[in-house]
């Protein structure tokens, strides 16, 4: 038996699911924007990371993944991989990042 590597949910159902777990409309809008940029696909680790950054607790993340059809073994593997990624990040490491300011910010200075 092959492992399922892709899980599908409609945009409307995903929105309902995220709202059910008290994720803000702003966060949902940003999330769907990212999905559109990536051709409506997202890596499970990135999905979990977004949920964590949105303040969703671990039990609710597990429940969301279950509602997508993932089994507990797969969920455990995803969460372990997410933890490993956090631990692999070196403390104090400088990451390449940029910030853009809108013209509106220049007026307020």
Query: Hey, CA dihedral for 7, 10, 13, 19, is it positive or negative?
Result: positive
Residue ranges of domains in the chain: 11-108
Determine contact, residues 67/17, Cβ cutoff 8 Å. yes
Tokens 């993340």, located at residue: 61
pLDDT for residue 72: 93
* Local mean pLDDT, 10-residue blocks, the chain (109 residues): 70 90 86 79 83 86 91 90 72 51 50
Query: Hey, CA dihedral for 32, 33, 38, 43, is it positive or negative?
Result: negative
């Amino acid at each position: 038996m092959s492992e399922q590597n892709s899980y599908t949910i409609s945009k409307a159902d995903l929105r309902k699911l995220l709202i059910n777990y008290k994720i803000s409309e702003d966060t949902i809008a940003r999330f769907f924007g990212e999905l559109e940029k990536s051709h409506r696909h997202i890596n499970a680790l990135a999905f979990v990371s977004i949920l964590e950054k949105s303040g969703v607790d671990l039990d609710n993340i597990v429940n969301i993944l279950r509602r997508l059809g993932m089994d507990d073994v797969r969920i455990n593997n995803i969460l372990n991989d997410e933890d490993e990624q956090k631990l692999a990040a070196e403390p104090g490491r400088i990451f390449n990042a940029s910030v853009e300011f809108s013209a509106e910010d220049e007026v307020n200075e």
